[in-house]
Structure 1
Amino acid sequence: MAFYAGRYGHSSAQEWERRLAAGEISRHGVPLRADAVLADGDQLVWRRPPWPESAVPAHWDVIHDDGDLLVIDKPSGLPVLPAGGFLEHTVLRLLERRHGGDPAGVPRPVHRLGRFTSGLLVCARRPATRAWLSAQLRESTGSLACDGGGPPPCRKLYRALLEPGRLALPTGESLLITTAIGRRLHPPLGVIWCAAEAGDPAALPARSRLTLLESGSEADLVEVAIVSGRPHQIRIHCAAIGAPLRGDPLYLPGGRARPGGLPGEGGYRLQARWLRLQPPDGSVLELEAPPAEGLAMAVEPQGG
């Protein structure tokens, strides 16, 4: 019990004891009924009982489908991959059920979007396509696009609503954010992604360019171009400059995480709005999702 309670702090020692007594934990395939001393090489398995999953929006619009590459407009509230209490109610499982009999194969997500981030999600049927897409996403991390360099093979634009009046930025002006992202101690998760502490050798470099589109009394509408793809990058970067996403229950001004807050909690508005990819044939594919509710400008700029 000391092992489980120490390693998986989301549950108390008493809860792990109850699971042990119920026969949910086995060692080398044999269910244990009482606490025991572990030895090097022991193989432990916790067989988690079934649980009811929360209802999610299980629909989406298809933005692009060429028989291999599939890009969907993911709704807010729908997880992409199994995690955080969701297994069947995810994009991955829905794709497997809907396309299980397709001769071309099942389209699978190439990247993640947060559960409450809506917008463009890229999937692909062929492993080779998923490989080049993953490579483009990795290569874009080292691109100089946000610093005025040449166009990267992959470019992503997001829109978000921020807490009003926090940005010392004229409408239409941009700000480059280079706050590194790292892990910090956090109850009850143990560690969580935040703005990195100064001098953290494991911190990940990250770059975003934020543009203020409109200011309002209820929220500021911004567009964010990300070059790196770090965990919760936009949420952390906006909080790091003192302007958290409006309604974000996790990240505080400065980029630290609120004690007790969880990454999967909603309340904020963030959309993956526009994407440029460069397929292997050298062409350029530009895709755009319709503006989500609350994330459209009063007058849209020409060209999106």
Structure 2
Amino acid sequence: MPVRDGVGATRLKVPRTGPWPTIADYVVERFGHVDPDGLRARFDRGEIVTIDGSPVRVDTPLGAAEFVWYYRELGVEKVIPFDVEIVHQDADLVVVDKPHFLPTTPGGGYVQNSALVRLRIALENPNLTPIHRLDRVTAGLVMFSVRPETRGAYQSMFADRTVEKVYEAVSALPVTGLPELPRVVRSRLSSEKGRLRVAEEVEGEPNAETAIELIRTGESRGTDAGLPVVHTLLRPRTGRMHQLRAHLAGLGLGILNDRFYPVLEDESPDDFDRPLQLLARELRFTDPLTGAPRAFRTARALQEAPR
């Protein structure tokens, strides 16, 4: 199915057998707890289809298709009032400077308010695809593939860990004093589906590594002006989700305005005056198509960083 309004169709795997007489019965049981009649109506309208575009009807039996496709219905979204900025654009690659609070891809109630959808619409390119991702609450550089023919070459750089990534973070200065820096933190991070805190440090062979350096200490100068803070530079050598946040929290340097680490806070609305003080500052790599060195740096700065 083609991209529509910057959003690709969602693919759903359907069981071949089970207690559901029809595909619609399965889908309604899984997703229809809010509006089962509205979901069945989408089948009646032919909005849920098979791989060849044929509509799946309400009475289509279970087992008639392994996958179905549909477009997410766009509800009313909270607008993220910050723009994504293009740092670089060529025939194969787009590099952008993502603001805090804007997700890289649709998810969690944000579709139109995602970097991917905004860019697909602005650049009139439905093939635009992220090569890697940043957390919604993290700002900084993200790379997108322009066309499918060269996408794999750029994606392989991240799989092979040949991209040098540099981050900055600002943390409150611990009352016990500054931990010894620089240092390399190696630990095993575990994650479980459905758990809010994605990364938990557990016993076992390390699977996450971060080099941490001190930039400076001083007083914050943003919303929390005057707070004693630590400004660090981070070089992740692996790419586990929430790795930087978990590693700094483990040193007693939980990042300012982090609602997950070291303490999981109750869910609350975004506070745009207090963004997570984590920034993807630099990306460096050898271009897999030309062999030329490439380097990009964000124009953003962390508001609580000391002078």
TM-score exceeds 0.5: yes
Cα distance in 1 for residues equivalent to 2:159 and 2:29:
34
Cα distance in 2 for residues equivalent to 1:108 and 1:48:
18
TM-score by length of 1: 0.70
Cα distance in 2 for residues equivalent to 1:76 and 1:19:
33
The aligned residue for residue 101 of structure 2 is 77
Whether the aligned pair in 2 keeps the contact of 1:73 and 1:120 (CA below 8 Å) is yes
Provide, for residues 165-224 of structure 1, a one-character-per-residue CA deviation record: whole Å limited to 9, x for no partner. 266335xx3111112221248xxx45651224325xxx8711111112112352211111
Residue segments in structure 1 that go unaligned for 5+ positions in a row: 9-14, 32-38, 141-152, 299-304
The aligned residue for residue 148 of structure 1 is none
Cα distance change on mapping 1:124 and 1:196 into 2, 3 Å: same
Whether the aligned pair in 2 keeps the contact of 1:110 and 1:123 (CA below 8 Å) is yes
Cα distance in 2 for residues equivalent to 1:230 and 1:100:
32
Whether the aligned pair in 2 keeps the contact of 1:106 and 1:125 (CA below 8 Å) is yes
The aligned residue for residue 250 of structure 1 is 260
Cα distance in 2 for residues equivalent to 1:129 and 1:169:
44
| Aligned amino acid, residue 110 of structure 2 | F
Tell whether 2:285 aligns with 1:283.
no
Tell whether 2:171 aligns with 1:155.
no
How far 1:81 sits from its partner (Å)?
Answer: 0.3
Cα distance in 1 for residues equivalent to 2:158 and 2:252:
28
Cα distance in 1 for residues equivalent to 2:292 and 2:70:
48
Cα distance in 2 for residues equivalent to 1:164 and 1:244:
9
**Aligned with residue 79 of structure 2, among 50, 55, 67:** 55
Cα distance in 1 for residues equivalent to 2:304 and 2:284:
20
Whether the aligned pair in 2 keeps the contact of 1:161 and 1:270 (CA below 8 Å) is yes
Cα distance change on mapping 1:259 and 1:249 into 2, 3 Å: closer
Cα distance in 2 for residues equivalent to 1:259 and 1:245:
14
Tell whether 2:231 aligns with 1:210.
no
Provide, for residues 8-51 of structure 1, a one-character-per-residue CA deviation record: whole Å limited to 9, x for no partner. 8xxxxxx92x523x3425896428xxxxxxx8999899997542
How far 1:61 sits from its partner (Å)?
Answer: 2.7
Q: Please, which moves more after superposition, 131-140 or 286-295?
A: 286-295
- SS of the residue aligned with 2:76? coil
| Aligned amino acid, residue 297 of structure 2 | E
| Aligned amino acid, residue 226 of structure 1 | P
How far 1:65 sits from its partner (Å)?
Answer: 2.0
The aligned residue for residue 90 of structure 1 is 114
Whether the aligned pair in 2 keeps the contact of 1:110 and 1:124 (CA below 8 Å) is yes
Give me the identity figure in percent. Answer: 23
Whether the aligned pair in 2 keeps the contact of 1:74 and 1:121 (CA below 8 Å) is yes
Tell whether 2:184 aligns with 1:176.
yes
Cα distance in 2 for residues equivalent to 1:154 and 1:169:
28
- SS of the residue aligned with 2:255? coil
Tell whether 2:39 aligns with 1:24.
yes
Count of paired positions: 255
The aligned residue for residue 269 of structure 1 is 277
Q: Which runs of 4+ in 1 moved over 6 A?
A: 3-8, 39-48
Whether the aligned pair in 2 keeps the contact of 1:74 and 1:119 (CA below 8 Å) is yes
Cα distance in 2 for residues equivalent to 1:48 and 1:65:
29
Provide, for residues 259-300 of structure 1, a one-character-per-residue CA deviation record: whole Å limited to 9, x for no partner. 7559x99742111101101112222111111241426563xx
The aligned residue for residue 239 of structure 1 is 249
Cα distance in 1 for residues equivalent to 2:267 and 2:254:
14
Whether the aligned pair in 2 keeps the contact of 1:179 and 1:240 (CA below 8 Å) is no
Tell whether 2:203 aligns with 1:198.
yes
Tell whether 2:293 aligns with 1:292.
no
How far 1:242 sits from its partner (Å)?
Answer: 2.5
Provide, for residues 139-187 of structure 1, a one-character-per-residue CA deviation record: whole Å limited to 9, x for no partner. 11xxxxxxxxxxxx310000011122266335xx3111112221248xx
How far 1:128 sits from its partner (Å)?
Answer: 3.9
**What's the RMSD between the two structures over aligned residues?**
3.7
Whether the aligned pair in 2 keeps the contact of 1:56 and 1:78 (CA below 8 Å) is yes
The aligned residue for residue 110 of structure 1 is 131
Residue segments in structure 2 that go unaligned for 5+ positions in a row: 1-25, 44-55, 220-226
Cα distance in 2 for residues equivalent to 1:24 and 1:106:
28
